[in-house]
A and B are shown apart, each in its own frame.
Chain A
């Protein structure tokens, strides 16, 4: 089946620290991979995506590379800010006859302190 596993949080960092949030997946076929972010009290926003192996998604200083050999899509940022504090969700969309379904990991809460 299809599933996503993320590192458990919370992750607590000081401002300007390096961030890594690990994500691995299990899927049949060739899924697309995503990171979504949920700020407090808000809905989810797409942060970045990658649709095939070796693609790198990037946005707002965040990056993730689709690694088929390790079935991973780890999220990284070189220097986090307080405003990055949020819950981050790794997700995949399996190719399933064209149905646009998102399967989410459990989410990782990031807290950045000044």
Chain B
């Protein structure tokens, strides 16, 4: 199926650990995103990559490091996990960066991260 997929779906870990979340899209898009949804359902963009180049970095702690090995993949690595990192993390993709309009973003199913 063509889609945006994320692994794992659930991630439970201890404070201080390092973990990664993976995202893959097979829609042929060239732009990918990470969003964080907190416990109150508030969604905020974290990062965006276009053709493997970082184009959006929204005041996210240095403990979060995105990596895009190719256009179809955008991974999120988190060092020294804290309680406040508990959230649902959504990956999304779109075609292009919409210089004069908007190109729809397609979202993955989310990864629920719980830090104990």
Contacts and interface: CB of A to CB of B under 8 A. Distances in A.
B69 interface: no
Interface string A77-88: 000000000010
Contact of A43 (B98, B101, B110): B110
Interface string B57-81: 0000000000000000000000000
B107 A100 contact: no
Given A51-B102, A100-B97, A43 B43 contact: no
- Classify chain A: how many residues form its interface, as a range: 20 to 34
A103 B97 CA distance: 15
Interface of A: 32, 34, 38, 41-46, 49, 51, 87, 89, 93, 98-104, 106-107, 109
Interface of B: 4, 31, 35, 40-45, 48, 55-56, 90, 92, 94, 96-99, 101-105, 107-110
